């Protein structure tokens, strides 16, 4: 569930045009998969197929928190689940409604502000855990779930040694998240670490960034600097303010870069967690 920030929209559109999918999450790769666009697309589809296997029997009504542009919701609908999507970003909301042809209910809201009389059998948080405050988010989820309802969370979390990790600083600590969930009335049914299956997404992302995106950005900057100098200097000035004095090229080199496999493996893990609500709070 992405933060409200209109500046991400051009980047999001660029990503969607490049990836040609309706998914904004990591992919679930097979060990033998080569790093190609086609395999990245298959891995993202496989990710959704994989998460559906965790949904217990008897679940019908699903709330997709941070539903993005509709990839997961469409596949859940195809498996005969009644899906409702929520997301606070207007641009993603427009794409969600377009991709789902308005057939899946959507609410432009944060989890915190979402109000409904309906109680859900399962709440899905596919890479949206990190955008919701831990304890208050779990309390809200408990309120939205029926008795004995489920929370299915898939996200990457900090390991206990991640205090040295410079960014992203907002990620939840995994041990703390589990402890908070249990304290707030959730029982852990199943937990699987799929870090090794999602790491090729990082490898592919780095390959695309350094071979295609970074050269294109530098080329655009050079064209602006040579032919449209006023716009170049305005852009440089804006970014210098935004990135604490760094030049625009320094920012591309050091800040606008994908996370590397080695950093992820050292400090983070990607977890699938199925929990059941045991009591009201």
Residue recorded with tokens 């004995």: 148
197-249 pLDDT per residue, tens: 999 998 888 777 666 555 556 565 565 555 555 554 455 554 444 434 444 44
Is the residue at 33 inside a domain? yes
Over residues 132-141, the mean pLDDT reads: 96
Percent of the chain with pLDDT over 70: 73
| 43 within some domain | yes
Q: Could you tell me if 142 and 277 are in contact, meaning their C-beta atoms sit under 8 angstroms apart?
A: yes
In a domain, 110, yes or no: yes
Enumerate long-range contacts of 220-226, CB under 8 Å, 24 or more apart.
Answer: 221/248, 221/249, 221/252
Asked if residue 97 belongs to a domain, the reply is: yes
For residue 18, what is the domain's CATH number? Answer: 3.40.50.150
173 assigned to some structural domain: yes
Residue 154 lies in a domain: yes
Which DSSP string corresponds to 20-36?
A: -SS--S-----TT--S-
Domain enclosing residue 34, as ranges:
6-198+262-277
Is residue 235 domain-resident? no
**209 occurs within a structural domain:** no
Residue 216: what pLDDT? 57
Number of structural domains found in the chain: 1
CA 141, 143, 147, 148: dihedral to nearest 10 degrees? 20
pLDDT at residue 53, rounded to an integer:
98
């Amino acid at each position: 569930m992405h933060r409200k920030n209109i500046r991400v929209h051009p980047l999001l559109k660029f990503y969607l045009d490049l990836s040609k999918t309706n998914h904004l999450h990591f992919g679930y790769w097979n060990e033998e998969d080569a790093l190609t666009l086609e395999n990245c697309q298959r891995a993202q589809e496989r990710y959704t197929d994989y998460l559906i296997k965790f949904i217990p029997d008897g679940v019908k009504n699903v709330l997709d928190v941070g539903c993005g542009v509709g990839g997961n919701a469409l596949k859940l609908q195809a498996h005969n689940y009644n899906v409702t999507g929520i997301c606070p970003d207007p641009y993603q909301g427009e794409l969600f409604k377009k991709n789902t042809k308005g057939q899946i209910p959507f609410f432009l809201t944060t989890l915190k502000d979402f109000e409904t009389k309906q109680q859900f059998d399962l709440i899905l948080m596919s890479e949206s855990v990190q955008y919701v405050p831990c304890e208050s988010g779990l309390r809200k989820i408990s309120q939205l779930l029926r008795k004995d309802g489920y929370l299915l969370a898939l996200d990457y979390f900090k390991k206990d040694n991640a205090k040295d990790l410079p960014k992203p600083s907002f990620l939840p600590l995994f041990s703390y998240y589990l402890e908070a969930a249990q304290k707030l009335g959730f029982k852990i049914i199943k937990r699987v670490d799929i870090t090794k299956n999602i790491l090729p997404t990082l490898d592919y992302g780095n390959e695309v960034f350094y071979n295609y995106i970074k050269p294109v950005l530098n080329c655009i900057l050079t064209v602006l600097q040579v032919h449209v100098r006023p716009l170049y200097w305005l852009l440089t000035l804006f970014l210098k303010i935004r990135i604490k004095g760094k030049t625009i090229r320094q920012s591309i080199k050091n800040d606008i870069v994908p996370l590397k496999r080695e950093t992820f493996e050292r400090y983070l893990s990607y977890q699938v967690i199925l929990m059941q609500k045991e009591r009201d709070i």
